[in-house]
Structure 1
Amino acid sequence: MIERSQHQLRKAFGDLLQGTVCKFAASVFDPISVRLASDLGFEVAIQGGSVASLQVLGAPDIALLTLDEYVEQVSRVGRASQIPVIGDADDGFGNALNVMRTVTELQKAGVAALTLEDTHLPAKYDLQSHVLIDSEEAAAKIYAARFARSDDALSIIARTNVAVTTLDDSIARTTAYQRAGADAICLVGVKDFQHLESLTSHLCVPIILINYGNPALSDVEKLSAANVRIVVNGHGPYLSAIEATYEALREQCGLERSELSLSELLSKYTLSDNYREWAKSYLKSEHYSN
């Protein structure tokens, strides 16, 4: 097999965005998983930030992972991959200047594209839903990311969560991100095709969906016709690997299969209760304001 360069992989990703058919992205987390994905016929992959947090820190996805830690993990995948890999750059690890550093480092790590979301990270204490930053600030991050890339084939993808704000606000945000030069718009929280149409009728750039297996958005022909070019259906492979590892270790200890659900397993071994207590102790201003 002829190996493709990073630039060629980025061009291949751009071709997917400009194509006419929706593709499903493989969730990968190490060299073996990305080789498996390629061999099985996937044309694009994603290294999720939440997966990296689990794998590198054994911690929940609460913005504890640093840029250097994420870049190191992505580099391992990038070196082995012969399909384009999308990097999950969260909020860019800071402001627009931090975004520029993030783009530089992830480009060196070999990603073909990266997503930049407009979520306020790290989250403030005890918020019940995601809080989005001002759309002007988020658009400035997209503009800065485009300036920072040295390979114009690297795709900059603006990501927003439409489930935590109004339809009008989502439309205003994605309009601003398209104007700032985003190569694609990534949407989280779309309910169905009617909702998708309302959210995207004003857009010219391709759409990426973070879908988590929503059956109301499973029709590939309709997705393709709606200018959706890539769908990410969660990160099941790594979660399955956690479950399989746990059961294999139990078997080696002579124990029966566990009755813990996946959510219980993750909560126990990512120390979720500890992080909740630490957040209560150190993030609640009433504890230290006096």
Structure 2
Amino acid sequence: MPRASHTDLRRNFRSLLASNTCYHTASVFDPMSARIAADLGFEVGILGGSVASLQVLAAPDFALITLSEFAEQATRIGRVAQLPFIADADHGYGNALNVMRTVIELERAGVAALTIEDTLLPAQFGRKSTDLISVAEGVGKIRAALEARVDPELAIIARTNAALVPVREVINRTQQYQQAGADGICIVGVRDFEQLEQIAEGLSVPLMLVTYANPLLRDDERMAELGVRIVVDGHGAYFAAIKATYDCLREQRQIVSNTSDLNATELTHTYTRPEDYIVWAEEFMNVKE
């Protein structure tokens, strides 16, 4: 069977963005999952930053994975993938110059698109990842990403979080990222269709929503009418794999333990040990000058 090139897959992804349909992503985290997703007929996949951190480091999503580690995992997927996949490139692993390096590495890895978000990462001590960089810095990152891109078919998608700032600021940010040349806008944390309509009104580029299966946004036709082309429901396949691995190995060892009834989220928390990182942050990052 002839294999599609990276450019072919990027063109396929562009055709999804240009359509009038809403497509749901498959969570792909290694070559096998990418092949399974393509065989099952998924049109697009996504390598999540949090999933890559789990898969590569067994670490929580605290911006610990490096660009090289993330790009290596994307390269493994890109070698076999026969569906276009999006890379969740977090904040681009630094400032605008780091974003340029990120685009270069992920383009070589074979991704069809990548998202660059305007979250301030890594999070400052004592705060959750709820701070956003300035709009000007966000625009600079998008412009830098476009400058670093070699294959014009690679889609650069600007990402922001609608749950963290007032809707007027979301509208301002998304419109400025569109004006900067982003090929699409990714929005996390949209509450409902009323908020989505307000944001989408001033946008002409395709939208990507990270909904985490929000029940108030379960209408693909309505989302498509508002310009949504890509929907990320979450990464259930990866967490199901964690649960299946645990159950299989526990049964193999014939172990009955107090963790036997833990769900995938609880198991992930158990084995990524976020409490260790919190203690280390308190010890090494709580600097008082």
Counterpart residue number, 2:212: 212
Show the counterpart of 1:255: 255
Q: 2:279 is aligned with what amino acid? A: E
User: How many angstroms apart in 1 are the aligned matches of 2:114 and 2:216?
Assistant: 26
Show structure 2 runs of 5+ residues with no match. Answer: none
Indicate yes or no: 2:271 matched with 1:269: yes
Tell me, yes or no, if the aligned pair for 1:157 and 1:186 is still in contact at 8 Å.
Answer: yes
What is the 5 A alignment of 1:97-176?
Answer: 97-128=97-128, 130-176=130-176
**Contact 1:267–1:273 (CA<8 Å) still a contact in 2?**
no
Q: Which residue of 2 aligns with 1:185?
A: 185
Counterparts of 1:32 and 1:265, CA distance in 2: 22
Give 1:198's aligned residue. 198
Deviation at 1:267, TM superposition (A): 1.8
> Secondary structure of 2:159's match?
strand
Q: Distance in 2 between matches of 1:157 and 1:261?
A: 33
Task: Report the secondary structure of 2:174's partner residue.
Answer: helix
The match for 1:283 is 285
State the secondary structure of the residue aligned to 1:151: coil
TM-score (norm 2): 0.97
Do the aligned residues in 1 keep the contact of 2:25 with 2:43 (CA within 8 Å)? yes
* Deviation per residue, 1:144-195 (Å, 9 max, x gap): 1011011000000000001000111111101110010000000000011111
Q: Distance in 2 between matches of 1:41 and 1:256?
A: 38
Query: Could you say what secondary structure the match of 1:208 adopts?
Result: strand
- C-alpha separation between the residues in 1 aligned to 2:34 and 2:140? 32
Distance in 1, Cα, partners of 2:175 & 2:219: 26
Give the drift of 1:218: 1.1
Show the counterpart of 1:233.
Answer: 233
Contact in 1 for aligned 2:11/2:153 (Cα 8 Å): yes
CA contact (8 A) 2:7 2:151 kept: yes
The residue that corresponds to 1:14 in the other structure is 14
**Structure 1 CA distance for aligned equivalents of residues 152 and 29 of structure 2:** 26
**1:260 CA drift (Å):** 2.1
Could you say which residue in structure 2 is the equivalent of 1:46? 46
**In 2, distance between residues paired with 1:3 and 1:249?**
36
Cα pair 2:123 2:129 within 8 Å, conserved: no
Output the CA distance in 1 between the equivalents of 2:42 and 2:145.
27
Identity of aligned residues (%): 53
Deviation at 1:19, TM superposition (A): 0.6
Instruction: Give, in angstroms, the shift of residue 217 of structure 1.
Output: 0.8
SS in 2 for 1:115: strand
1:2 is displaced (CA, Å) by 2.2
Q: Between Structure 1 and Structure 2, how many residues are aligned?
A: 287
Q: 1:25-63 CA distances to partner (integer Å, 9 max, x unpaired)?
A: 101111110111111110100001100100110000000
Matches within 5 A, 1:56-95: 56-95=56-95
CA distance in 2, matches of 1:128, 1:101: 26
Residue 128 (structure 1) shift: 4.0
**TM-score computed with the length of structure 1 as normaliser:** 0.97
Q: C-alpha displacement at 1:262, in angstroms?
A: 2.8
2:115 and 2:217 map into 1 onto residues whose CA distance is 21
